Each structure stands twice: as C-alpha cells, then as structure tokens.
Chains A and B, each alone.
Chain A
Amino acid sequence: MRVDWTTFWPRIIEATGETILMVIFTLIFSSIIGIAMGVLFFVTRKGNILENKYIFLVLNLLVNIVRPIPFIILLVALSPITRAIMGTTIGTAAAIFPMTIAACFAVARIVESNLVSIDPGIIEAAQAMGASPVRIIFGVLIPEALGPLILGLTFVTVGLVDFSAMAGTVGGGGLGDLAMTYGYQRFDTSVMIVTVVILILLVQIAQFSGNFLSRFFLRR
C-alpha cells in the first residue's frame, strides 16, 4: 500500500525535526563531555602539563573498551541505563543518551589528536610566561586547536546522522525510523528516496557550516 503524500509530508517534516533534534543535542552534550575528556587525555600524558599516569590509563582503558562496540549493539546494551536515566528507551529524547555516550569517546580521541599536533614550543612559551595549567588549557590549547577541532566535530556530526538512523530503528523516531518502517518494511521506494535526499541535504549543510566555521577560526 502506497502512502498518501498529501498526509505524509507532515510526517516527513516531523521526522526531519526529530533527526535534527537528536543530532544537535547529542552534538552539544558529546562535545562538552568529549572535549573535557580529550583535554584531560592530553594534559595527563607523560611529560605534559598535568602528567598523571593513573588518570591517563583509566581514560585510555575506557575509550578502548567503548570505541570498538558497534553502535547498534551499544544502543541495546545501554538500554537498562538509558531507562534508569531517561525513564524510557523509546523516543527521540531517549535516543540522545546512548548517542552521546558513543559520540563523546570519538570526540575525545579527535580532541586529543588535535592537541597533540600543537607545537610543544607554544605550550612552553605560555609556561615561561607564568601561565597556570588551567590558563594554558583555556587560553592556549583550545584556541590553538579550534580550527581543526571544528572540522573534527563536523566529521562527528555527519556520523551522528548515521547514529540517529540506527537509533530510529529501535524506536528513536526520526528519518531513519521512517525509512525503515515505510521504505523498507512496506517496500515504498518513494519514501526511501525522499528520506535519503533529506539526509544527504542535512549532511551537506553540516559539512558546509563546519568548513565555513573552521576556515573562520583557522583564519586562512
């Protein structure tokens, strides 16, 4: 049975809104947690400004445990915790929790690798000026890495669109859910095409804004 497009368009718009909501909220939460973790990762490294073997080891272990788990499995595995925290495992809001968990570890790694590429001489110069570790983190490390960091977050955002589609299949709503239930299970190719086109547009917009912002901060 084909969908009736006159009544189906509002459904598409609603689903697009849900996807955007999931992606944006996950991006915000995972950026905050991920940047904090990435910075902690970097500064506790051997020879760095807040060298700490134990924090580094624990973080490293945590990242290496969570990162290899495929998202669709993490989604299911986390459902008891999701229910405990969000009160439910169904719906857009509930999807944001496992998405944030998965994304923040990716953000942490990206932040760490961006910070590693800062010339150590710049950090040394800040130390020589009498900057405290906190001042170095917020006044030097983050501003110096901001350009590539935004590109990294853009990369994560595109990945989040992918995550949101998977979350959709277990009741998260959004375009992924729509594509699965109407396009795949009901063999309605037109729904499939429309959702795919919208997803492509969303990814394009995210990539374009990311490039623009990073160029702005790289000042090139």
Chain B
Amino acid sequence: MIKFEEVNKVFGLEGKKVQALKDVSLTISKGEIFGVVGFSGAGKSTLLRLVNLLERPTSGKVVVNDQEISSLSQVELRKLRRKIGMIFQSFNLFNSRTVYGNIAYPLKLAKLPKDQIDHRVKELLQFVGLQDKSEQYPEQLSGGQKQRVGIARALATSPDILICDEATSALDPETTGEILQLLRKVNEEYNITILLITHEMHVIRSICHRVAVMENGTVIEEGSVYDIFSNPQSKTTKNFISSVLNDKLSSKLLEKLRNNHFGNLYRVIFTGGASSQPILSRVTRKHGIDFNIIYGSINELQDQLFGNLIVEFQGPEPLIQQVINELKQIVEVREVISHES
C-alpha cells in the first residue's frame, strides 16, 4: 500500500522556486495496478520518486506499507528500497554487467549466498523469457529485451511494490504490448502492487485498474479506469481519452455529415450493462421513429463494454423529443452541437 497525504514538493532552481507537486493526496491499495497519466512536467515523475525517496517531499507524508518513510534512517531506507522494485524508460541497465550480472546485482546487495542468487536469477530469467540471453551484455539486446532484464532485476529481491517510470515510452507499439502483458503477469502471479506513470493513455487502458490524471503538480481527476474513460470531467482528461477512444469527430467530418444528415445529431453513451440490451431499437420502434448510427465505437474497458455513438433520429420532431427523454432515463444522451461536444 502506498499513501500520499497532502504532499508538496518545491524545487529551488537558482533562486527560482518551482512547485512540482501541490497538495497531492492519493492512496494506492495493495495488489492493484495504479496509473498516473499526465503531460511532461505535470509532476508525475517526482511523485513516483517519492515512493522510494529518490526525491524527498517538501511537506506532507508518504506512507509505504504502513510506514511513514521520510523519517527512516539511511540503513532503514536502503532496506525499504529492496522491497520496492523500479523500472525506467531508458532501462538503466549496467552496461558493464551481463544480463545475469544485472539481475544478480540487487541480490548481491542483499548479501544472499551464491547458490541462492544463482537459483533466483535463473527463475527470473525463465519468468521474463530470456533464459538464452543470460551471458549477453545489454548493448546486444533489443529495447524490449532490455526492459525484460529491467523487470527481472526489479523483481529480484521479491518486492511488494513495483514502480514504473514511463517503462514503455521508449518501445515500439508491439513491444509495448508485450511488456504490458508481462507487467500484468507480475501483478497477477506475485500480487505485486504496481504504480506506473505514463503519458500514453493506452497504457492505462490496457493494464490499470485505477488512474489519476495530473496537471501542473495536482491530481485533477482520479477513479477506476472504467469511470474515468466513460465519464471524464476535465478537459485534459477528455483529451487524453479521445487519444485512444476516437470518440470525437473532427470538425471537417462533422461538416460533411451535416450535409448528408439534416436531422439533429445526438451522442449516445452506453456504460455498464446498457450496451447489452437493444435499447435504441426498442425505444425508437415504440415511438415509430427511425435511427441511423453515423459514427462511433464500442470499446472494451476492464472487461466491460463501453459504447459511444453518434446517432441521427428521423421522424416528427415531437416524437424525437419523446424518444430522447425516454433514452435519457437509461443512457446518457447529448446533442452534438460542435465537434467538441
């Protein structure tokens, strides 16, 4: 479990003070995958480094596994760090050590006997699927393989928590998918709590359970991935979501549609169980109205379906209003006025 309570962080850069974090409070429960998303400079990287005190908070509390960590001595802190694995965007492997040597390093720090180190390293190589690369050096590996070594190294000392600093941002889309699956496997097989930061919303969508959106050092929105995706509040969050859901029309396309469809356009949003019933056809049939789906998508989010459609209704205006009022009781309906809505 990780808990941030009213955390502030101010950097003093040559007299100029920069507030990287403002009153951040977050709780990450044991065993969940928690994502923090934000543009660069939002403060997410600083937030992540508070967990193992690579950065110290200016004020506020950071609690890791029921322990307030800023009061720990150097020795206690090193012990705590062995229980928190960390992986990085640029992998940060030791170039002077082989794959084996990289994974063995944290075990050597923990002063494990040689045969136990050997056993553990082989187990981890198996887990990340790099048994045949044991004696290679990092520069001989591809990006995805390097990150696998990074993950194995971070898991060596059997941590409770894994923190990921933009772990897939330097990888191509296919490799990103593989690494995300591996992280999910880490979470499911070892029940390791994962805190990750990213600027890519699809990372959040693929593996996170809960998400916080950060902007200018504050958390502007927080909730389950399904809630945030299906009902975003702030503009930043909406922008992040349209980057993966394609739920917004471009103004050009909207203009084109308007030329062919003279009726009013409505955005109909299905969440939860609503997408499994024939709501649109049932309600429109009842009032003798036609409908025409002209744009939209149905996505899977955390094993639930989430639909976002733009629909034109054809029929007498009063009846259309009745249909919309009735639909509004079951799903969310908004009139599409501009390409932003």
Contact = CB atoms under 8 A, between A and B. Distances in A.
Interface of A: 119, 121-122, 124-132, 135, 139-140, 143-144, 146, 217, 219-220
A122 B94 contact: yes
A217 B97 CA distance: 10
Given A121-B92, A124-B54, A130-B79, A143 B109 contact: no
Contacts of A135: 109
B90 interface: yes
Nearest to A143: B96
Contacts of B109: 129-131, 135
A130 B92 contact: no
Nearest to B156: A129
A120 B54 CA distance: 13
B94 A143 contact: yes
A146 B97 CA distance: 12
30 contacts: A119-B90, A121-B90, A121-B92, A122-B92, A122-B94, A122-B95, A124-B54, A124-B92, A125-B88, A125-B93, A125-B94, A127-B81, A128-B54, A128-B81, A128-B86, A129-B82, A129-B105, A129-B109, A129-B153, A130-B77, A130-B78, A130-B106, A130-B109, A130-B110, A131-B78, A131-B109, A132-B74, A143-B97, A144-B94, A219-B137
Contacts of B110: 130
Contacts of B93: 122, 125
A144 B84 CA distance: 24
Given A122-B92, A130-B82, 4 more contacts: A122-B95, A130-B81, A130-B106, A135-B109
Interface string B70-106: 0000100111111010101010111111000000011
Interface residues of B, number: 28
A144 B94 CA distance: 7
A140 to B, nearest CB: 6
Contact of B88 (A121, A131, A220): A121
Contacts of B74: 132
A139 B95 CA distance: 12
B218 interface: no
Which of A121, A126, A130, A219 has the most chain B CB atoms inside 10 A of its CB? A130
A135 to B, nearest CB: 6
Contacts of B52: 128
A143 B93 CA distance: 13
B134 to A, nearest CB: 15
A126 to B, nearest CB: 8
Contacts of A140: 94
- Name the prevailing secondary structure of the A interface residues: helix
Nearest to B150: A125
B210 to A, nearest CB: 24
B197 to A, nearest CB: 14
A216 B82 CA distance: 32
Contacts of B88: 121, 124-125
A144 B95 contact: yes
B49 to A, nearest CB: 9
B229 to A, nearest CB: 31
Among B78, B139, B157, find the residue whose CB has the most chain A CB atoms closer than 10 A.
B78
A139 B79 CA distance: 18
Q: What are the 3 A-B residue pairs with the smallest beta carbon separation, nearest first?
A: A130-B81, A125-B92, A130-B78
Contacts of A131: 78, 109
Contacts of A125: 86, 88, 92-94
A11 to B, nearest CB: 45
B147 to A, nearest CB: 13
Contacts of A220: 139
Nearest to B78: A130
Contacts of A132: 74, 78
The CB with the most chain A CB atoms within 10 A, among B92, B108, B139, is that of: B92
Contacts of A130: 77-82, 106, 109-110
Given A143-B96, A143-B97, A129 B81 contact: yes
A127 B95 CA distance: 16
A146 B95 CA distance: 11
Contacts of A122: 92-95
